[in-house]
Structure 1
């Protein structure tokens, strides 16, 4: 099977992931901090922005490719993929050390939770048809 929809969303997510990784690496280099955050809150913030992207992106892309492999209509894949990308763009800007209630943090987490629910429902519906 050739997957045609999931790669459309995997590519921008991979670019975002790499950009966040570069931010962590450059800060580690500037601080000569090999492991951990060394008590530096800016490095900790960058580590969490990158980590959150890794956690959500892998999980959602797995659900998305499973959905695509099960033959879910592409409209639903595009909706879930769009929510994933929007969430990955919004979340790093909303994750602030001095504001846990930043609107972009809610947008990032909310859109990824919604995408997760969409893919869970799509997979469950397709499993019930088997």
Structure 2
């Protein structure tokens, strides 16, 4: 059976990060009394979108990371991709929650890199 030790550590980190993004949403919903939907509350909306964006990008990033690791890529390559994804997600969430467009933008650049690099690696590995 194949094991993915590096991907496993990153997946565990991302699981905790998702809870860290989700819990403040629940607290804010209780505070503003808006239990369903996006709400007119700007703080709640930002928290929801930070979490939503996380759930839109991280699953594919982890899948790509596991596929690169399964193709016997050097550990340094797998680690670098995972670290880039972590940095991207931290920057993006920080930018969303603090209303900082530049930080959010850099977060998306890192996230895009963490998707494009392993995709290119996988295509090159399969074709070559």
Q: Cα RMSD (Å) of the superposition?
A: 1.6
- Per residue, is there more helix in 1 or in 2? 2
User: Counterpart in 1 of 2:80?
Assistant: 79
Alpha-carbon distance, 1:32 to partner = 2.1
Counterpart Cα distance in 2 of 1:69 and 1:61: 12
Counterpart Cα distance in 1 of 2:61 and 2:36: 28
User: Counterpart in 2 of 1:9?
Assistant: 10
- How many corresponding residue pairs? 127
Alignment TM-score, normalising by the size of structure 1:
0.89
Q: Which runs of 4+ in 1 moved over 2 A?
A: 96-99
Per the alignment, do residues 98 and 114 of structure 1 end up closer, same or farther by CA in structure 2, a change over 3 Å counting? closer
- Which segment is superposed worse, 24-33 or 116-125? 24-33
Q: Is 1:125 aligned to 2:128, yes or no? A: no
User: Counterpart in 2 of 1:105?
Assistant: 104
Q: For residues 51-70 of structure 1, what are the structure 2 equivalents within 5 Å? A: 51-70=52-71
**Which stretches in structure 1 are left out of the alignment for 5+ residues?**
none
User: Counterpart in 2 of 1:45?
Assistant: 46
Alignment TM-score, normalising by the size of structure 2:
0.90
Q: Deviations for 1:14-46, whole angstroms, at most 9, x for unmatched residues?
A: 221110000111111222222112211111100
Q: Is the 8 A contact 1:24 1:47 kept in 2?
A: yes
Q: For residues 88-103 of structure 1, what are the structure 2 equivalents within 5 Å? A: 88-95=89-96, 99=100, 102-103=101-102
Counterpart Cα distance in 2 of 1:61 and 1:127: 19
Q: Deviations for 1:85-124, whole angstroms, at most 9, x for unmatched residues?
A: 111111111125855xx22112210111111111111110
